[in-house]
Chains A and B, each alone.
Chain A
Amino acid sequence: MHELVVISGKGGTGKTSIVASFAVLASDAVLADCDVEAADLDLVLAPTVKLREQFYSGHVAVIRGDDCLGCGDCVEHCRFDAVRVNGAGHGDAPYWIDPIACDGCGVCVRFCPEEAIDFPQRHSGEWFVSETRGGPLVHARLRAAEGNSGKLVATVRSEAKRIAAEQRKQLIIIDGPPGVGCPVIASLTGASLVLVVTEPTVSGEHDRERVLHLTKHFDIPAAVCVNKWDVNPSMAEQIERTAQEMGAPVAGRVRYDMHVTSAQIEARATVELECGAADDIRALWLNLQSIASTHGVQLEPAARAVGIT
């Protein structure tokens, strides 16, 4: 089983539109939307939800008003400034713990002399398994202000793997989160191939570089694609050159095309419209298959490795 992860460093480079297109093009894949803070793949793929699960991660400290004597030890112990002198609206304890700031380390719980602090599990989001026209989709939603998106990403990925094994699918296509932090690391460690979708801008270039350092750090083969390349052709060339120098071949270019937005509005993948960007994405998918094969990774079953559905 192989995992193709599509990431971008910077958000908004058109990653999700490309993943939705891959989902439609790939003949036999499981899809995993690991962009759990801004999961938008479902807006295109119109999933039918089959399974819905709550996601708990870590703990949060809660002071029981009845038992707190107001000694203030917890204030001293907490390194995350989460313990506040109580104002209105947070029960009658002299202190309350701001759940947003609470890191869930449990130090206050352990050292409270009155044992007045509970430590329930933290409800951090939910995840879903759905059917779509592009194949099974595992997606999730992190609750607002939650931090453990890395763990939710890991949950989505392992569920996608389980489904792939169960349905004997060879490929998992992962829509990765933006950035270079915890959720990104969780989405790509151990993956077979990473496609970095970037745009020809100074920020795109800057973030692309950070992302390629990350794939290098974890020793995962990477390829790049410059989206909207014609907005700044010379910048696109420069990005492609530096990416190649860092060992990441160019898998393709996608032109700036208003049809990408039209497709989004119609809840269709770009390749489901006839347009230039659709042609570019089909070529990208084909190219990516040959780059993948040099790493021993198969994106399409051998008999159907043509990329056109």
Chain B
Amino acid sequence: MRLAIASGKGGTGKTTVAVNLAQVTAGPTRLLDCDVEEPNCHLFLRPDIVETQTVGIPIPQVDEAKCTACGECGQFCEFNAIVSFKTVPLVFPELCHGCGGCMKVCPAGAIPEVARTIGVIEQGQCRGVELIQGRLNVGEALAPPIIRAVKTHAATNGVTIVDSPAGTSCTMIESVRECDYVVMVTEPTPFGLRDLTLAVAAIRELQIPCGVVVNRASIGNGRVREYCRSENIPVLLEIPDDRRIAEAYSRGQTIIDAIPEMRATFDLLFQRVSSECPNA
């Protein structure tokens, strides 16, 4: 079973749900942190990172001796990552998507490719949870290749939990798309509702079933619950607005570690997800 934890906006408690859920599943559980711009699961699970792999994309490296300055490569590139005004081209590595097009169109065979590192994947274990996280290097713009690399570590059997980036853009879609079920985390506020609505629309386009966890349930108003009722989306769990939870979070503790009696709550969440999920 592959579950994604997602949310329309950041800071709603997505990572909290992901790490606590990972803690109650009967292992071996894999937790894939696909929020590669801000991977935070490790702050709560504190695994010893045992393996680090770099993630790169192939980029062009022009062989000046072979280049005839025809300009074909620059004309082809959709991203202005290789520019030639009938001169030996200039490559802008941070704009390159690694499509290989310039290499293929070059009539002189003057464009071999080299790998350019844009981030890393780190792997570590902690209390029955195997954490695999991607991390985009600061200043880099291209998250999807790292997410794709993280996803290759999904378990073939057993439970995989994916902590998806917030929002509704391609990085979120890339993270959740092969999942069997999406748990959306939201807050019962106007911002929370707006962003939940957008995220649900995106998930529905992928035809993945989803349910909602309402975090800090006592703040705000009842509009999120009304929305879920009218859209037939199950509310899987309501997490109270408890100062102890906020404090545990601020220290980097999971809810279950800080408040052991909350384990039953997440057990229940896991059961509900398993019963809702078509592929459990």
In the assembled complex, how far is the CB of residue A74 from the closest CB belonging to chain B, in whole angstroms? 12
Instruction: Say whether B78 contacts A58, CB under 8 Å.
Output: yes
Which secondary structure characterizes the binding site on chain B?
Answer: loop
| Residues of chain B contacted by A179 (CB below 8 angstroms) | 37-38, 165
Query: Contacts A38-B8, A107-B104: A217 and B138 contacting too (C-beta < 8 A)?
Result: yes
Say yes or no: is B168 at the interface (Cβ < 8 Å to chain A).
yes
Say yes or no: is B15 at the interface (Cβ < 8 Å to chain A).
yes
Say yes or no: is A27 at the interface (Cβ < 8 Å to chain B).
no
Say yes or no: is A54 at the interface (Cβ < 8 Å to chain B).
no
Instruction: Say whether A261 contacts B252, CB under 8 Å.
Output: no
- Considering only residues 178-224 of chain A, those with a C-beta below 8 Å from chain B are 178-182, 185, 199-204, 206-207, 210, 213-214, 217
Count, A-B residue pairs, CB within 8 A: 173
> A interface, how many residues as a size bin?
35 or more
In the assembled complex, how far is the CB of residue A3 from the closest CB belonging to chain B, in whole angstroms? 20
Cα-based distance from A178 to B220 in the complex (angstroms): 23
Instruction: Say whether A107 contacts B100, CB under 8 Å.
Output: yes
In the assembled complex, how far is the CB of residue B183 from the closest CB belonging to chain A, in whole angstroms? 17
Instruction: Say whether B221 contacts A105, CB under 8 Å.
Output: no
**Interface size on B (CB < 8 Å)?**
57
| Residues of chain B contacted by A9 (CB below 8 angstroms) | 38
Instruction: Say whether B10 contacts A10, CB under 8 Å.
Output: yes
14 A-B pairs within 8 Å (CB atoms) are namely A11-B9, A11-B11, A13-B11, A38-B194, A105-B79, A110-B105, A142-B169, A146-B169, A150-B141, A181-B171, A182-B141, A182-B142, A201-B251, A232-B250
Give 8 nearest A-B pairs by CB, closest first: A12-B11, A11-B10, A147-B170, A105-B99, A202-B252, A182-B141, A144-B202, A37-B167
Known: A38-B9, A199-B250. 14 other contacts (CB 8 A): A38-B8, A40-B9, A105-B78, A144-B173, A144-B201, A145-B173, A145-B205, A147-B169, A181-B37, A202-B251, A203-B15, A214-B138, A235-B251, A265-B190
Q: A interface vs B, CB < 8 Å?
A: 8-13, 16, 37-38, 40, 43, 58-59, 77, 79-80, 100, 103-107, 110-111, 142, 144-147, 149-150, 178-182, 185, 199-204, 206-207, 210, 213-214, 217, 231-232, 235, 258, 261, 264-265, 267
